[in-house]
Amino acid sequence: MLYKLRNVQHGFRGLYRVWSTEVQFPFQVLILVALLCLAAYVQLPPIEFAILLIAAFLSLASEVANTALERLCDRLEPGHDERIAEIKDMSQAFVYVASIPVVVIVVLFIAPRLL
């Protein structure tokens, strides 16, 4: 049981590190909160709200994974290396691709209710 609590502690410490060091992460959380408020305002049906939540949290999780991979790359190769730069670019592309469903959900589910 104590082992599981320590895992939770490590997870929250990781979230704090991402929050405090990555400029984009707090901004993405703010957008998530705004989208959830907007979804509540337009009275998004529960299933659509759940789909939005899943997509939004997967987008945030991709940012956490991107940060971890970038830090690992920086640790392995502190100087500039073209292969490391490619890895970082692909990792950032992962974040962008993971964010596309959120945009699609907003366009399909929320935007029509605002018009």
Q: pLDDT digits over 39-71, tens only?
A: 999 999 999 999 999 999 999 999 999 999 999
With contact defined as beta carbons under 8 Å apart, do 10 and 42 qualify?
no
- pTM for this one? 0.86
Indicate the pLDDT class of residue 2, thresholds 50, 70 and 90.
low
Q: Which residue has the higher pLDDT, 2 or 26?
A: 26
Rounded Cα distance between 17 and 19, Å, is 5
The CA-based diameter of the chain, rounded to the nearest angstrom, is 52
Judged by DSSP in three states, 54 sits in helix
Q: How many domains does the chain have?
A: 1
- Contact between 18 and 64 under an 8 Å Cβ cutoff? The reply is yes
pLDDT for the residue numbered 5: 75
Domain with 58 in it: what CATH number? Answer: 1.10.287.3610
DSSP category for residue 106: I
Distance CA 95, CA 60 (A): 8
Residue 38 pLDDT greater than 90, yes or no:
yes
Could you tell me the residue range of the domain that residue 86 belongs to? 2-114
